[in-house]
Amino acid sequence: MITTLVDFQRSDLRALEWSINEITDNVINHAQSPVGGFLHFSSYTVSRAVEFAVCDVGIGIPATLRAGLGQVLTDSEALELAIREGVTRDKKLGQGNGLYGSWRIAQLSGGIFEIFSGRAHLFSSPDHGLSIQDTAIPFAGTLVVSKIPYLRTIDLSEALVFGGKKYMPVDLVELEYEADAQGNVDFFLGRESGGGFGSRQAGEPVRKKLLNIARLDGINRITIDFSDIPLLSSSYADEVFGKMFMS
C-alpha cells in the first residue's frame, strides 16, 4: 500500500492494514474454505480511495454464527449480527471485532462496505445508510468488499473502540520503518526491490515508497543501505534517485 497511495496520512495506512488483516484472518479461522481465500486490492489515485475485496468458498457467515452461537438465525440476521461489536462463533479464536471495526472504518471515512454470504447481502454507504436484504440466489461462501476514501483523515480512535476502550494497532510502517529518536530511518534497498535493479519499472515502486516514507511524521533523514547490491543500472538509478532529486 505504501507504494501506491498518494497524499495519505499515517492513520490511513493503519486503518487499511488493520481492516485487511482482520478480514483475511476471518477466512483462515472461520471460513473452512477448501481453497483458502482470495484478496484483490485496487488504488484510485485521482479519487484518492482504495478498494479491497476478500472472498472465500467456505461455509459462509450465517452457518458459522448459527453453529457458534447456537441460535436459529436467518441469513440476514446473521449478517446484521456479524458487524456488531464482540460477535464471534468462538472467543478462543478472536474477539469478534474484525467485521465491526472494518465497517466502522469504511463508515467514518465516507466509504462503502458490503458483505455477500448465504442468502443475504449487507450494504453500507453514506447515501443509503445500512441495509440488509435477502437474496434469491445464495452466495456460496463469503465476499467482503470495502471502498475507503482517504481524502479526509481516518480517526482510528473513533473507529476502533472495543468494550469502551480505544484501540490503536501497530502497523507495518511502525515495525519496518519507524524512525529513531533523531528521526532517522534505515532503508535497506536490497530488501525492497523485488523486481531487481535493472529497469525503470523496478525502480518506480521503490521511489514511491521512499517519497511516502519521507512524508511520514517524525522523519528527518532516510539512510539508504546498498549492502549486497553488486550493480544498479543507470535506468534504475535515474528512476529512483534522479527523479527524487529533480522533484
Digit-coded pLDDT (tens) for 172-201 = 666 677 778 888 888 889 888 777 898 999
Examine the domain organization and report whether 143 and 110 are in the same domain.
yes
Residue 140 lies in a domain: yes
What CATH number is attached to the domain comprising 109? 3.30.565
pTM of the model as a whole: 0.74
Q: What's the half-sphere exposure (Cβ side, CA atoms, 13 Å) at 219? A: 19
How far is residue 95's CA from residue 91's CA, in Å, rounded to a whole number?
6
Examine the domain organization and report whether 45 and 88 are in the same domain.
yes
Structure confidence by residue, pLDDT tens digits, 104-121: 999 988 999 999 999 999
pLDDT at 91: 58
How far is residue 12's CA from residue 159's CA, in Å, rounded to a whole number?
12
Domain boundary among 110, 140, 173: 173
Residue 2 lies in a domain: no
pLDDT at 151: 73
Examine the domain organization and report whether 53 and 163 are in the same domain.
yes
Residue pair 213/187 in contact (Cβ under 8 Å)? The answer is yes
Cα dihedral 217/100/158/131 (nearest 10):
120
Structure confidence by residue, pLDDT tens digits, 193-215: 777 898 999 998 898 888 888 87
Structure confidence by residue, pLDDT tens digits, 7-17: 666 667 778 88
**Pick from 41, 66, 65, 71: nearest CA to 53:** 41
**Residue 171 CB neighbours (<10 A):** 21
Who has greater pLDDT, 146 or 246?
146
How far is residue 12's CA from residue 235's CA, in Å, rounded to a whole number?
32
Structure confidence by residue, pLDDT tens digits, 130-180: 999 999 999 999 999 999 887 776 666 677 777 777 666 666 666 677 778
Single-letter code of the amino acid located at 183: G
Examine the domain organization and report whether 169 and 76 are in the same domain.
yes
Examine the domain organization and report whether 53 and 104 are in the same domain.
yes
Examine the domain organization and report whether 183 and 158 are in the same domain.
no
Q: Inform me whether the pLDDT recorded for 216 exceeds 80.
A: no
Examine the domain organization and report whether 14 and 136 are in the same domain.
yes
The boundaries of the domain holding residue 223 are 179-246
